[in-house]
Amino acid sequence: METLEFIKKAEGGKIIIEVPENLEGKELKVLVMEKEPEEGEIKKFSEMPVEERLKILKQFQGTAKYPNVEINKYDVYDQ
């Protein structure tokens, strides 16, 4: 059994795949899934699943250098 792998972008809700002549007229099984980003490839934060976003945000919980310092809305101007 021959396995072919294609990476295509859906356009207008359709994906067009050209198959070799030896598969013409045969019954084929087609699986469609989102491509996993390769290592080093940056994913957009807004496109990540909620669980993954929370995991990233929790890494920074409690990491402030001086967490007990009081701040107000004008502190940003006093830098």
pTM of the model: 0.42
- Higher pLDDT: 15 or 78? It is 15
3-class DSSP state of 17: coil
**Helix residue spans in the chain (DSSP H):** 50-58
pLDDT tens for residues 57-74? 888 877 777 777 787 777
pLDDT digits (tens, 9 = 90+) for 5-29: 888 888 999 999 998 899 899 999 9
Whole-angstrom CA distances from 52 to 33, 42, 47 are 19, 14, 10
Q: Which amino acid is at 12?
A: G
In this predicted structure, the answer to whether residue 46 has a pLDDT above a threshold of 60 is: yes
pLDDT value at position 35? 82
3-state secondary structure of 19: coil
Can you give the pLDDT at residue 79? Answer: 57
